[in-house]
Amino acid sequence: MDKIKKSDILVSRRTTLAMMAGGVLAAASGARAAAPLEQTKIQIGGNRDPQLGAQIIIAHLKNFFKDEGLDVSVSWTDTSGDLLPLMAGGSINLAGIGMSNLANLTARGVPVKGIASLCDYSGTQALVLRPGLTLKSPKDLAGRKFAAPTTSPHEMAIGELGQRYGFDASTVTLARMQPSEGVVAAARGDVDGVLTYPPFLGRILDMGGTLYFTGSATYFDGKETKLSTKDRLLNVRSVLAGNEDWMKANPNTTLAVMRAILKGNDFITANLEETSKLLADFLKSTPDVMLQSLKANVYSMSMDEGLLGSMDFTSGWLQKIGQLKAPIVASASLDTSWLAKIDPKLVSIKI
């Protein structure tokens, strides 16, 4: 685990920036809406991971939903994609999902919009080589076989490395597996490594795997090389998404949910150590693994240029793999008006 910890100093700066961007908005997020809630008992979607579900997990554990007068039950899933049919079918109307799933819902004509950013998790999307495997250079990725989630932008990173280092990325085989299965396959040597994310990232590293790259850094020689924003291998975010029709019919309830999740965001950025313990218990992991993930992620609900950059990246990736026929424009997938009602300082883009 020592290799990934080398970024702690730089990552702490990212956490500080996230706090500045998200703001510690105790007064704004703590204020209860004067208007009555249209619904007090609702169901929302959340992921059991620190990238897509952290704020929702904390809001749930710290009773921030109850503080807003809400009785919230959460449909917990292991991957963002598991929430797609629930949102498309209207079983849930608010959820934390990945940008790629927001784009897919938009392409299907489902009236769902991203109403706040949640997490920039580019720095926790990684390739970990199986125990005992070393590569002389990125060119040695050619011809290798890696476990990978069913839908994942990791392959974009491999494609980008192929262009930068002159190897044929199409020779890299991706064996589609659930995250936990990928860890087991890599540990057994059935594959050359695993494309993964926390908490599974920490598990394979604990088994002796070697971190090779993340979306924002490389570790080719065993040392971290931080990548600039324009040179990132990945640009991925999660968002809070809501069904437009439902939100219009339940505006006060929508804003109450957002305030509770914003409290969760502020709690995370101000209490990393305590958050790591809460997440470790909830996700059946360890505080050390969770703390590393929290430091590598950037938590902020701000809707900014970075969010648009992530949308462009995601749209390009989905077109490349044939899931989208045309780019998704921001106006089709994002709605800044809801977050502006919570705090206009959190919105710095016009759509």
What's residue 17's pLDDT?
A: 43
- Residue 1 pLDDT grade (very low, low, confident, very high; cuts 50, 70, 90): very low
Q: Which residues contact 77 (CB under 8 A, 6 or more apart)?
A: 45, 46, 47, 48, 83
Residue 122 has pLDDT above 50, yes or no: yes
Report the pLDDT averaged over residues 89-118. 94
Question: Could you read off the pLDDT of 65-81 as tens digits, one per residue?
Answer: 999 999 999 999 877 77
What's residue 32's pLDDT?
A: 46
DSSP per position, 324-337? -SSPPPHHHHB--H
Residue whose entry in the numeric block shows the structure tokens 């070697």: 210
Higher pLDDT, 68 or 14: 68
Q: What is the mean pLDDT of the chain?
A: 88
- CB count within 10 Å of CB 68 equals 26
Residue 2 has pLDDT above 70, yes or no: no
Which of these, 269, 323, 291, 339, lies nearest to 155 by C-alpha position?
323
Partners of 239 in the β-ladder: 97, 117
What's residue 307's pLDDT?
A: 94
Phi, psi of 102 (to 5 degrees): -65, -45
What's residue 199's pLDDT?
A: 79
Return the structure tokens found at 173.
Answer: 């085989």
What's residue 266's pLDDT?
A: 98
Question: Could you read off the pLDDT of 37-66 as tens digits, one per residue?
Answer: 999 999 999 999 899 999 999 999 999 999
CA distance linking residue 286 with residue 280, whole number of Å: 5
- Residue 190 pLDDT grade (very low, low, confident, very high; cuts 50, 70, 90): very high
Q: Which residues contact 75 (CB under 8 A, 6 or more apart)?
A: 43, 44, 45, 46, 83, 86, 91, 92, 95
Higher pLDDT, 245 or 2: 245
Residue 64: its H or E element:
helix 64-67
Question: Could you read off the pLDDT of 125-177 as tens digits, one per residue?
Answer: 999 999 999 999 999 999 999 999 876 778 889 988 999 999 999 999 999 99
Residue whose entry in the numeric block shows the structure tokens 């890696």: 146
Counting residues of the chain whose pLDDT is more than 90, the rounded percentage is: 67
> What domains are there in the chain, each with its CATH number?
7-121+236-346 (3.40.190.10), 125-231 (3.40.190.10)
Report the pLDDT averaged over residues 275-300. 93
- Residue 95 pLDDT grade (very low, low, confident, very high; cuts 50, 70, 90): very high
- Residue 315 pLDDT grade (very low, low, confident, very high; cuts 50, 70, 90): confident
What's residue 151's pLDDT?
A: 67
17 DSSP assignment? H
Residue 12: its H or E element:
helix 8-22
Residue 11 has pLDDT above 50, yes or no: no
Side chain identity at residue 347, one-letter code: V
What's residue 79's pLDDT?
A: 75
What's residue 155's pLDDT?
A: 80
What's residue 153's pLDDT?
A: 76
Question: Could you read off the pLDDT of 193-205 as tens digits, one per residue?
Answer: 999 988 788 889 9
Counting residues of the chain whose pLDDT is more than 70, the rounded percentage is: 90
Alpha helical stretches, state H, 43-107: 54-61, 64-67, 84-88, 99-107
Residue 144: strand, helix, or coil? coil
CA distance linking residue 336 with residue 308, whole number of Å: 12
Paired sense of beta strands 71-77 and 41-47, if any = parallel
Higher pLDDT, 237 or 327: 237
Paired sense of beta strands 173-176 and 145-148, if any = parallel
What's residue 6's pLDDT?
A: 37
CA distance linking residue 250 with residue 348, whole number of Å: 25
Paired sense of beta strands 193-196 and 145-148, if any = parallel
